[in-house]
Amino acid sequence: MKIALAQQNYHIGNFEINVGKIISGIQQAKEAGADLVVFTELCVCGYPPQDFLEFDDFIHACETAVNRIAAHTQGIGVLIGTPCRNENADGKDLYNAAFLLEDGAVKGVVHKTLLPNYDIFDEYRYFEPADHWRVLEFRGKKLAVTICEDIWNMGENPLYRITPMDELIKDQPDLMINLSASPYNYAQDVVRNSIVKAHTLKYGLPMLYCNTVGSQTEVVFDGGSLVYDNAGNKVKECRYFEEDFYVVELDALFAGSAHTVAETPIYFSASEVGLGKHTLDYLSDEKNIEEIYQALVLGIKDYFTKMGFTKAILGASGGIDSALVQVLAVDALGKENVWAILMPSQYSTGHSVADAEQLSRNLGNPYNVLPIKNIYDAFLKELAPVFKDLPFSVAEENIQSRSRGNLLMALSNKFGNILLNTSNKSELATGYGTLYGDMAGGIGVLGDVYKTQVYALARYINRNGTIIPDNIIIKPPSAELRPGQKDSDSLPDYADLDTILVEYIEGRKGPREIEAMGYDAELVDRILKMVNRNEYKRKQFCPIIRVSYKAFGPGRRMPVVGKYLS
């Protein structure tokens, strides 16, 4: 039996595009001589559909799409993911399901058992969990079909009380197949391989794991679909951050031996790979930085493509954050579609303007210089009767930032360029940014990237030659909102800051646990207070492209008025 994996990029609610991709994948599988082709979790409607699932019209559109797909299944089996109705009055109205289609009809249905309700996931809000388990019969083979989270209940502290494969194995299946929509983070590929490998070793069966690819607002899906044989050997790992297609002969998945079992450790969570085994050294190593770069480019590209946008705009300060966003955007959208706006004030250094201009010349993208001194002076003149003789403060600094935000949004409105936000995770964590100023934007490109990772990404970009001018990378970072200003005036050293932030945000460690790592108690308390006191700013921020396993946004829910550690 030949089985194909179709790793595709879907668009939530775009049934015409999704159905077209699936039908094309079926045709490709037929041409390859496949008996069965496997698609991904909720491929019919795109993942995650969120509250679209509450609309009966949306579910009807899913059903219509399934019927259209079924019409193309003559002579081939097709496994697709779709929401389906719960015909029982008890429980929620929908299941997250996998349908086996063949010869124009639905030949089998599997319901997802384990519904994640943590981090970015909210499936229990919509779906009823499966309460019975059976294999699907297909051409003389028994298929143990599961859906994404169904295979993640492993390790010493499982999240759920039921493991679907423990039930399915009772029917003596011949093969495990998982339809997945597993989002990217910089530890996920390691954990994903570990989970699949652990299943093949535990149950003595091969596994085919088909994962979606593409970005949906802030969530990036990286693909990396897998085939493991019955002895825990990896047979195939599909491409990352792009669509892919692979056909495997089932009989070949029973020929391996377990000689690789001891070569790699098995991890069941991102924290096992990461925290406790590394700090920023791991987050900034070459492999992870390359992955993060690819994820950010895909996040920008799909956000624009799926929203129908073509052109971007950003404020180019001559600093490393805006420089990095500019490079990523040019890679994602093309140099002609990225407009850099330089907005110097009387506090901007000459080299900042020169550095920003040189970057645009290196990349070949259009740019303009719009000084803000006259705008800033006009604000101060109008405010003088109210400000009186009070000393210069953050108020005057923020007027500059908001003046720039106003200019960028005016150009965005006039010409239709979508504003890319350039704030990094270290800044967002500590509140080092101006609401309605440099925190404005349609999409936060670096909001899940720490400052130390920003530098690592810049070095990665320049690995084969200078694209980002060296001076942008080596000069001390500064907002340039007052004479001689440096980030270090307001923030701790980034190496210390970012390590403490990682332990608190990703690791959920308390202050005493972080101090036990060797950090000064006063420094730890200061940083954690900055994080918690600035939750109100992050609540008003744009969507952030997620690359870590605990990003700001829907996956991290904190009260604005909470007192804890503030």
Positions marked catalytic: 41, 112, 148
Residue type, position 467, single letter: I
Distance CA 370, CA 367 (A): 10
Cα 496 to Cα 280: distance, rounded to the nearest angstrom = 10
**For residues 405 and 399, what is the distance between their CA atoms, to the nearest angstrom?**
10
Contact 160, 114 (CB under 8 A): yes
Q: Which residues are annotated as a binding site?
A: 118, 182, 315-322, 398, 422, 427, 537
Residues of the binding site for deamido-NAD(+):
398, 427, 537
Q: How far is CA 321 from the centre of its chain?
A: 19
- The tokens describing 500, both together, are 């403490």
Question: With b meaning 16 or more CB within 10 Å and e meaning fewer, what string describes 512-550?
Answer: eebbeeebeeebbeebbebbbebbebbeebbbbbbbbbb
Handedness of CA 204, 210, 215, 219 (dihedral sign): negative
In order, the DSSP letters of 156-222 are: SS-SSS--HHHHHGGG--SEEEEEE--B--TTHHHHHHHHHHHHHHHH---EEEEE-EEEETTEEEE
Provide the H-helix boundaries in 46-173.
56-70, 164-168
Q: How many CB atoms sit inside 10 A of residue 302's CB?
A: 21
154 touches 268 (CB < 8 A): yes
Dihedral sign for Cα atoms in the order 61, 67, 68, 70: positive
Left (φ > 0), alpha (ψ -120 to 50) or beta: where does 436 sit?
Answer: left
Annotated binding site for L-glutamine: 118, 182
**What whole-number distance in Å separates Cα of residue 352 and Cα of residue 317?**
7
Q: Which residue has the tokens 């007052």?
A: 482
Interatomic CA distance for residues 230 and 174, integer angstroms = 10
Please name the helix (run of DSSP H) or strand (run of DSSP E) that holds residue 472, with its range, or none: helix 470-474
Sign of CA dihedral 511, 514, 518, 522: negative
Bind-site residues for ATP: 315-322, 422
**In angstroms, rounded to a whole number, what is the distance separating the alpha carbons of residues 414 and 407?**
11
**Residue 451 in contact with residue 462, Cβ under 8 Å?**
no
